[in-house]
Amino acid sequence: MRTVYVNGAYLPENEASISIFDRGFLMADGVYEVTSVLDGKLIDFDGHAVRLARSLDELEMRNPVSKDDLLEIHRELVRLNGIEEGLIYLQITRGSDGDRDFAFPDPETTEPTVVLFTQNKPSMADSPAAKRGAKVISIDDIRWGRRDIKTVQLLYPSMGKMIAKKAGCDDAWMVEDGFVTEGTSNNAYIVKGNRIITRHLGNEILHGITRAAVLRMAREAQMEVEERSFTIEEAQQADEAFTTSASAFVMPVVEIDGVTLGEGLPGKVAMRLREIYLDEMRKTAV
């Protein structure tokens, strides 16, 4: 059984609880982060801590945990649960004032809820899915307009994964006004020759922590990086495609809406970036 963290306490998962009036539960009034663990260490912890602070700020929510304490809690959960490879899920909600009301409760009297738990994933780096490559389908992006805030409103992304699954695919890429925004839980890229193309930052997509690292590494490896929108048609004609996220790192994409890319195998650029990313992140893990 896992040991989880709830509002200052480390507890067995079946003894942890929060209020039924918690605004995360009633209103999806909460934000989250997913940080990966390799060799028992945290990958890009700083990036996730900075984005968490920004998400809270954008929602006028108080940050109840200092960065140092947050690091300590992450490390303690890794230790208590013996995680060598896996994920740490963190969620902070606006808490509960013991009732349901659309208006925010007074932050002076209502404490945010802080929950963290681990997910043990032994073959995350040596992933069979990454060796095969993912098949994606496109779906309309009907999410709200502030996708740059990492909120827990994940119903549509969850439905998107189910639509993909029913179509025999692994994931869905979302399309708005004719252009790809991002994957259901990852950022989307195409590759043309030595050029990597991914949507520019804005309110329309989550500013991926893995995206920032991978783009930096691509530039350092003398690849060209173009941050602009692209269509599904352009993606289908690209040499390669891939996605990035804290949970899947760099994941090659081999099929888009039934069109096979190249030979239908993970592309060279995607595989090279996956290798560079994993190598470098293992070295800088905390």
Interface residues with ligand PDD (CB under 6 A) are 34, 182, 185-187, 206, 208-211, 244-247
113 vs 185, beta carbon nearer ligand PDD: 185
Count of C-beta atoms within a 10 Å radius of residue 286 = 11
81 vs 185, beta carbon nearer ligand PDD: 185
User: Active site includes 67?
Assistant: no
Q: How far is the CB of 134 from ligand PDD (least distance, A)?
A: 14
At 5, the amino acid letter reads Y
Active-site residue, from 150, 161, 166, 192: 150
5 vs 249, beta carbon nearer ligand PDD: 249
118 vs 187, beta carbon nearer ligand PDD: 187
Q: How far is the CB of 156 from ligand PDD (least distance, A)?
A: 10
Q: How far is the CB of 171 from ligand PDD (least distance, A)?
A: 11
Q: How far is the CB of 244 from ligand PDD (least distance, A)?
A: 6
Q: Which residues are catalytic?
A: 150
